[in-house]
Amino acid sequence: MTTVRIIGPGRAGRAFASAFASVGVEVKELLGPADDVSSAAVGVDVLLLAVPDQAISAVAAAVGPVRSTVVAHCSGALGLEVLATHERVASLHPLATLPDPIIGAARLRAGGFFAVAGDPMAIELVKALGGCTLEIPEQARARYHAAACIASNHLVALLGQVQRVAASAGLPLDAFLPLARGALDDVRLLGPAAALTGPAARGDGATVERHRRALDPAELDGYDAGVALARRLATAAAANPSEPAHAQLATEEVSRERAVAGALAAAGRNSSWR
């Protein structure tokens, strides 16, 4: 049985502890800021540092090296150089948000992607959780993490703008969330270019300007950035109209969804129930 000790009893550390324990990995006691970590690598296969990025190097240096123990961190932005005082090193970053230990543990076990580097033990831990690995070269690490932040943090911030603009019209955020979910489903099925709709994509400058005149000036930078990204995507799609491979693979699934929607609509028209 693989044994793991975690330094960092916050949301990520406790989520990893719960997830590992649920799949048969033996999890030793979690260590926090008040604990002596000098011997933390003793008696375990993996020591996982689930601490803030700016603390990883100092915490790693405070741990006495054990040649047989893999010392790993779960930062998406940092490479292995911050663990340089240890012989066997790795990184293990989940492409998932971990808002609390319970939700986080469920997401860690949900079959998602993990960015890994270094010792093969990181891959073994991902396999134990039922996940998929992305091996990120050091030179691509910052770009990988930027993409992760855009997909999660920036998306949440964008929905914060939706909430503010909707509230200015007297409307709740909940009314717009099915629209956002539908857009994400379309991206999954068709790819971003084919999923894009709206005035910026179709070159309707008059509607864009109508929006800009109606918005609070404090919202214009975010709105204009979104318009620019939509126009860039639409321009690229027009210049390269070939259908992406994953969109081709999704054609059958889209057809099924349309068939189901059509059948439901027909049933509604023909039903005697009103």
Predicted confidence band of residue 267 (pLDDT cuts 50, 70, 90): very low
Domains located in the chain, CATH noted: 3-136 (3.40.50.720), 143-265 (1.10.1040.20)
Order the strands of the 70-73 sheet from edge to edge. Answer: 26-27, 3-7, 46-49, 70-73, 88-94, 113-118, 132-135
pLDDT average, residue stretch 153-176: 98
Contacting residues for 63 by C-beta, under 8 A, at least 6 apart: 7, 37, 38, 40, 41, 47, 71, 85, 86
Q: Does residue 16 have a pLDDT over 70?
A: yes
Q: What is the dihedral of CA 109, 12, 71, 21, to 10 degrees?
A: -40
Long-range contacts, 106-110 (Cβ 8 Å, 24+): 107/15, 108/15, 108/16, 108/19, 109/19, 109/22, 109/23
pTM (two decimals):
0.81
Kindly state the tokens that stand for 241. Answer: 């109209």
For the residues 178-192, what does the mean pLDDT come to? 97
Q: Pick the range with the lowest mean pLDDT from 49-53, 86-90, 157-161, 247-251.
A: 247-251
d(CA 271, CA 274): 8
Residue bearing the bigger pLDDT, 261 or 21: 21
Per-residue pLDDT reduced to its tens digit, 219-258? 999 999 999 999 999 999 988 876 554 545 455 555 555 5
